[in-house]
Amino acid sequence: MTLYDLAKPLLFRLPPETAHTAVHTGLRGLQATPLADRLESHYQVTDDRLQTEAFGQQFPNPVGVAAGFDKNAEISGALQSLGFGFVEVGGVTAEPQEGNSRPRMFRLPDDEALINRMGLNNDGADVVGRRLLRTDVNVPVGVNIAKTEHVAPADAPADYRRTYERVAEGADFFVVNVSCPNSQGFEELQNRDSMAAIFETLTDVGASPLLVKLSPDLPEPAVEDALNIVSEFDLDGVVATNTTTERPASLRSPNRTEEGGLSGKPIEGEATEMVRFVAERTDVPVVGVGGVSTAEGAYRKIRAGASLVQLYTGLVYRGPSISQEINRGLLELLEQDGFDSVDEAVGADL
């Protein structure tokens, strides 16, 4: 019985966004207190076999927090204390945004899933950029950069550049989010010409390391187009995947009919297949995300070609010890299969 076993039923009685805010407030409060150090020594799994290097950054372990959990770069220190090896903050837009009206986040408890249509609510690049400069963490922190809602797709390159310039100094890597299903105009951003214009603008201003985050709903030819962009603009990595607007027939929870992006267990297999598809076609590191909640699931993505994994929904359902459990489990799985490090297992199934 863990503390989260006790807290979860109480949190799950609250509306999901209220529960998220409560957890967020708690995590923010404990940062820079002696408790944070104690949590870190409890949750962190320190082992050379878990350390990895990707796009010029050193990661103490391959398990990170996906975009959306720390939208405004307020709790990266606390997430490090929970043992995560990296954090992707954001999505951040050039201007502050309210996002969609509430409720906009829904639990699907029978499916270990969430549906969200947050709509990229965030404090804006100026505020987040300043906060990042004050952030004192030892793990890599990336920023997920998204298009401002009211900006037309044709003006997206300048909009992404504005955001990049405001957060550049405080971040270790940059993820261009062209795959948010909950904000206007995003479908158009994933076509070849739009992506080329965005990445040309960002590479011209020296954005690096630069990654692109893809939707699991892209048809294969569109993924291939995106991978051509990766090589044409010498990008540093691919994040696969974002949430899906698809609704697998297996979903049982009443909230399955809500509009928005589905995340968690039901997208695990598809996200892993997308990791494999991308890893088979590119040499850059792939960050595998979608339904990761166990060591076995993380390991499947690693063997399918992910150099790193990330999660959001797993943290909601499994609680704060999830990175510790995954990292400990990964060490056992590596040993079982005779690998000396996570790096050795990356792409073992390709």
Ligand X SMILES: Cc1cc2nc3c(=O)[nH]c(=O)nc-3n(C[C@H](O)[C@H](O)[C@H](O)COP(=O)(O)O)c2cc1C
Name which of 70 and 225 has its Cβ closer to ligand X: 70
The CB-of-118 to ligand X minimum distance in angstroms stands at: 5
Beta partners for 58?
53
Q: Please confirm, yes or no, whether 120 is among the known catalytic residues.
A: no
Closest CB to ligand X: residue number? 68
Three-class SS of the chain:
CCHHHHHHHHHCCCCHHHHHHHHHHHHHHHCCCHHHHHHHHHHCCCCHHHCEEECCEEECCCEEECCCCCCCCCCHHHHHHCCCCEEEEEEECCCCECCCCCCCEEEEHHHCEEEECCCCCECCHHHHHHHHHHCCCCCCEEEEECCCCCCCHHHHHHHHHHHHHHHHHHCCEEEEECCCCCCCCHHHHCCHHHHHHHHHHHHHCCCCCEEEEECCCCCHHHHHHHHHHHHHCCCCEEEECCCECCCCCCCCCHHHHCCCEEEEHHHHHHHHHHHHHHHHHCCCCEEEECCCCCHHHHHHHHHCCEEEEEECHHHHHHCCCHHHHHHHHHHHHHHHHCCCCHHHHCCCCC
Catalytic, out of 19, 89, 128, 180:
180
Name which of 88 and 339 has its Cβ closer to ligand X: 88
Which residues of the chain form contacts with ligand X (CB under 6 A)? 66-68, 90-91, 105, 114, 116, 118, 120, 144, 177, 180, 213, 242-243, 263-264, 267, 289-292, 311-314
The CB-of-212 to ligand X minimum distance in angstroms stands at: 11
The CB-of-129 to ligand X minimum distance in angstroms stands at: 16
Q: How far apart are CA 235 and CA 106, in angstroms?
A: 34
Name which of 49 and 265 has its Cβ closer to ligand X: 265
The CB-of-28 to ligand X minimum distance in angstroms stands at: 17
Name which of 49 and 92 has its Cβ closer to ligand X: 92
The CB-of-316 to ligand X minimum distance in angstroms stands at: 8
Name which of 139 and 339 has its Cβ closer to ligand X: 139
Name which of 194 and 242 has its Cβ closer to ligand X: 242
The CB-of-154 to ligand X minimum distance in angstroms stands at: 22
Residues assigned a catalytic role? 180
